[in-house]
A and B are shown apart, each in its own frame.
Chain A
Amino acid sequence: MISFERVTKRYPDGTVAVNELSFTAPDGAITVLVGPSGCGKTTSLRMVNRLIEPTEGRIAIDGTDVRARPAAELRRSIGYVIQHAGLFPHRTIVDNITTVPRLLGTDRRTARNRAHELMELVGLDPALAKRYPYQLSGGQQQRVGVARALAADPPVLLMDEPFSAVDPIVRKGLQEEFLRIQGEVAKTILFVTHDIDEAIKLGDKIAVLREGGVLAQFASPDRLLAEPADDFVEQFLGRDRGIRRLTFYPSAGLSLQEGPVVAADTPAPSARDAALSAGTPWLLIVDADRRPLGWANPAALPDQGPIGNARLIGYGHAFVPGSDSLRAALDAAVLSPTGWAVGTDGNGQVLGVISQESIGSAIRAAHAQSSTERERADEKAAAADASPDSGTAAEADEPSAADSAGSEAPPSDEAPLEQAR
């Protein structure tokens, strides 16, 4: 747990980089500091490992003031990852990774064994161990940076725009790997980015900062998208926050229709008659393995031959109920020329289809559920606030509230997040 308590950084020329910043980054979770340039997010991060000293206020890790021990000792207990990796060019990859353990006095062999484990964890080929940083791509260097930060197994990790300097495709891969690694190591992470999409994708909690280092909002990504605190946050989130919020709703609850799904070898006339009498606007034609081929308009079906011979309309992409979010389902429906989305299982076999309208009502239902959840969580928090040890209690209570709610009723803020990932 990293707590900022009314932390202010004022420079001698009067510039205020961080202004009375207070928040608590919970244990084992990723807390993202996000905001435009000049909002003091990097300054805030560097105050945790005392690369910068605050002017006022206090930063504590698990309740202990960071100023309680010498800076160098403190830093060895905190992992640090920066934008351009900052690897030591004169050391091999394995020696880069063993930096902190060696500073702590771990013997070379133990440190190297640990380095090889870490290379595996971050997805680096062990054959790279003896290479020098210049021989690696940007993405690989960044992985080494993460391995180096994890080498001494610090409970806390600080990451300053670690994925900003690589191209978008590599970045996406690194982000997903990062979430996988965090799933294994469960560190308390403070993560700085200027990219709100990255913040929403990675953060369990998000602190939005505005210019002058003022905290605009501190909330879970779902809540941030649902209830931006003010115009600044709303603008920063962008005009598609409604759509993006759907990422946090699972598509498992959607009820798919099987009626419009027809095998390609069905005779066209009988399929047409059935569809017209049932009032089915579109038929999804599937092959013998139940893989989707395309849509057919019942009214335009030929008078003879199998339905597979008819002219088919493309279906765009399918979504997988359960593992995909409502956003993926809606996207599939919006993309499909017929307005219907195709749901498949993990193997690409059709489970059924659903219309934009049905997805729309599912979204409304999800919104309603989520706001009830939030109200319940607020009541809990308010009750916890009344108790003397307010801040920590509220944080600790939230996951348990989510768990109990999940069993009887809709999943809470946090649960769909895990699923959508």
Chain B
Amino acid sequence: MIAASVFDLPSYVQHSYLGLLGEQLEVSLGATLGGLLVSLPIGQACARWRLLYPPVLGLVTVAYSIPSLALFVFLIDYTGITDTTLFIALALYSLCILVPGVVDGIRTVPPEVKLAADAMGYGPARRYFQVELPIAAPTIMAAVRVATVSSISLMSIGAVIGNLGGFGQLFTTGLRSFNLSLVWLGLFSLVVLALLCDVLLRLAQRLMTPWADRRSARA
């Protein structure tokens, strides 16, 4: 019985399961949030100056293609074997999903809506925060969901370089001690966590943008 063996854990893991969960959530969600904060201005700039987008897209794609181990080795020189290293790497990877998401989102704002906002007397900052960003939100949130799930699973590789990587540590520990149930537990936890985050983000988006459901269906 998998379920029985999964919950028949060595005491050191039982005690630290919540700790792993905390680390997992903190680093993967934090990295996505960090990536989003960087992507918003970059995406806005790419949407405004069209010539900027192709090179930026190339850059974030190249960044995504850097093998994670190589990136860790490079970052360890500066930030050591810490969650910060993991955080920076994951945030960098998330840009490849989030920057196009932000650009597509800003582009969904109909030109006549922008024109109307200008004509009503919105200043540039107000127009951005009160009109463009809310209208772009559904598309951006879709990208955020993908980036979150991707960060959660990508993070396990952190276990290879040290006591990092959240649930990923269950894989390394399980392999080292030939305890397959630990590997199963890690896998199960990651999948459930990813699904749960996706569902919660989807729910949050529904609540934030009640106007978006039918509009996208009709478009």
Q: Give the residues in chain B near A86, CB-CB below 8 Å.
A: 110, 112-113, 115-116
Query: Is A103 within 8 A of B119, CB to CB?
Result: no
Query: Is A80 within 8 A of B214, CB to CB?
Result: no
Q: Give the residues in chain A near B210, CB-CB below 8 Å.
A: 132
**Is the CB of A382 closer than 8 A to any CB of chain B?**
no
Known: A90-B211, A132-B211. A73 touches B121 (CB 8 A): yes
Query: Is B209 within 8 A of A134, CB to CB?
Result: no
Query: Considering the chains assembled together, what is the distance between the CA atoms of A87 and B123 in angstroms?
Result: 17
Q: From the candidates A88, A100, A134, A158, name the one contacting B121 in the complex (CB within 8 A).
A: A100
Interface centre among B113, B119, B134 (most CB of A within 10 A): B119
Give the residue name and chain of the A residue nearest to B214 (CB): A134
Query: Is A49 within 8 A of B119, CB to CB?
Result: yes
Q: Is the interface of B mostly helix, strand, loop or mixed?
A: helix
**Is the CB of B26 closer than 8 A to any CB of chain A?**
no
Query: Is A82 within 8 A of B214, CB to CB?
Result: no
Known: A86-B112, A86-B116. A72 touches B214 (CB 8 A): no
Query: Considering the chains assembled together, what is the distance between the CA atoms of A85 and B123 in angstroms?
Result: 20
Q: Give the residues in chain B near A132, CB-CB below 8 Å.
A: 210-211, 215
Give per-residue flags for A140-164: 1 if the beta carbon is below 8 A from chain B beta carbons, else 0. Answer: 0000000010000000001000000
Q: Give the residues in chain A near B110, CB-CB below 8 Å.
A: 84, 86, 89
Query: Is B121 within 8 A of A72, CB to CB?
Result: yes
**Is the CB of B118 closer than 8 A to any CB of chain A?**
yes
**Is the CB of B7 closer than 8 A to any CB of chain A?**
no
**Is the CB of A201 closer than 8 A to any CB of chain B?**
no
> How many of chain B's residues touch chain A, expressed as a range?
20 to 34
B119-166 with Cβ < 8 A to chain A? 119-123, 126, 131, 134-135, 137
Query: Considering the chains assembled together, what is the distance between the CA atoms of A55 and B107 in angstroms?
Result: 30
**Is the CB of B218 closer than 8 A to any CB of chain A?**
yes
Give the residue name and chain of the B residue nearest to A91 (CB): B211
Give per-residue flags for A69-103: 1 if the beta carbon is below 8 A from chain B beta carbons, else 0. Answer: 00011111010101111111111000000011001
Query: Is A87 within 8 A of B116, CB to CB?
Result: yes
Q: Give the residues in chain B near A73, CB-CB below 8 Å.
A: 121
Query: Is A84 within 8 A of B121, CB to CB?
Result: no
Query: Is B118 within 8 A of A75, CB to CB?
Result: yes
**Is the CB of A369 closer than 8 A to any CB of chain B?**
no
What's the nearest-Cβ distance from chain A to residue B196, in Å? 27
Q: Give the residues in chain B near A387, CB-CB below 8 Å.
A: none
Query: Is B115 within 8 A of A134, CB to CB?
Result: no
Q: Give the residues in chain B near A91, CB-CB below 8 Å.
A: 211
B186-219 with Cβ < 8 A to chain A? 209-212, 214-215, 218
Query: Is B119 within 8 A of A88, CB to CB?
Result: no
Known: A89-B211, A90-B209, A90-B211. A103 touches B121 (CB 8 A): yes
Query: Considering the chains assembled together, what is the distance between the CA atoms of A91 and B134 in angstroms?
Result: 10
Q: Give the residues in chain A near B121, CB-CB below 8 Å.
A: 72-76, 100, 103
**Is the CB of A257 closer than 8 A to any CB of chain B?**
no
Give the residue name and chain of the A residue nearest to B211 (CB): A132
Query: Considering the chains assembled together, what is the distance between the CA atoms of A358 and B104 in angstroms?
Result: 68
**Is the CB of A276 closer than 8 A to any CB of chain B?**
no
Query: Is A89 within 8 A of B215, CB to CB?
Result: yes
Q: Give the residues in chain A near B215, CB-CB below 8 Å.
A: 89, 132, 134
Known: A86-B110, A86-B115. A134 touches B131 (CB 8 A): no
Query: Considering the chains assembled together, what is the distance between the CA atoms of A91 and B121 in angstroms?
Result: 17
Query: Is B120 within 8 A of A134, CB to CB?
Result: no
Give the residue name and chain of the A residue nearest to B209 (CB): A90
**Is the CB of A135 closer than 8 A to any CB of chain B?**
yes
Q: Give the residues in chain B near A148, CB-CB below 8 Å.
A: 120
What's the nearest-Cβ distance from chain A to residue B125, in Å? 11
Q: Give the residues in chain B near A76, CB-CB below 8 Å.
A: 120-121
What's the nearest-Cβ distance from chain B to residue A30, in Å? 19
Query: Is B120 within 8 A of A80, CB to CB?
Result: yes
Q: Give the residues in chain B near A83, CB-CB below 8 Å.
A: 112
Query: Considering the chains assembled together, what is the distance between the CA atoms of A103 and B210 in angstroms?
Result: 23
Q: Give the residues in chain B near A88, CB-CB below 8 Å.
A: 113, 116-117, 131, 135
Q: Give the residues in chain B near A84, CB-CB below 8 Å.
A: 110, 112
Q: Which 9 residue pairs spanning A and B have beta carbons closest together?
A: A86-B116, A76-B121, A75-B121, A80-B119, A86-B112, A132-B211, A90-B134, A72-B121, A134-B215
Q: From the candidates A51, A87, A103, A135, name the one contacting B214 in the complex (CB within 8 A).
A: A135
Query: Is B122 within 8 A of A103, CB to CB?
Result: yes
What's the nearest-Cβ distance from chain B to residue A67, in Å? 15
Query: Considering the chains assembled together, what is the distance between the CA atoms of A74 and B121 in angstroms?
Result: 8
Query: Is B120 within 8 A of A99, CB to CB?
Result: yes
Query: Is B135 within 8 A of A80, CB to CB?
Result: no
Query: Considering the chains assembled together, what is the distance between the CA atoms of A382 and B112 in angstroms?
Result: 44
Query: Considering the chains assembled together, what is the distance between the CA atoms of A148 and B110 in angstroms?
Result: 18
What's the nearest-Cβ distance from chain A to residue B210, in Å? 8
Query: Is B123 within 8 A of A72, CB to CB?
Result: yes
The 9 sampled A-B contact pairs (Cβ below 8 Å) are A51-B119, A75-B119, A75-B120, A80-B116, A90-B135, A90-B211, A90-B212, A99-B120, A134-B215
What's the nearest-Cβ distance from chain A to residue B21, in Å? 35
Query: Considering the chains assembled together, what is the distance between the CA atoms of A22 and B105 in angstroms?
Result: 42
Query: Is A89 within 8 A of B113, CB to CB?
Result: yes
Query: Considering the chains assembled together, what is the distance between the CA atoms of A91 and B131 in angstroms?
Result: 9
Given contacts A75-B120, A89-B135, A132-B211, 5 further A-B contacts (CB under 8 A): A80-B119, A82-B119, A86-B115, A103-B120, A103-B121
Query: Considering the chains assembled together, what is the distance between the CA atoms of A89 and B212 in angstroms?
Result: 8
What's the nearest-Cβ distance from chain A to residue B130, in Å? 9
What's the nearest-Cβ distance from chain B to residue A87, in Å? 7
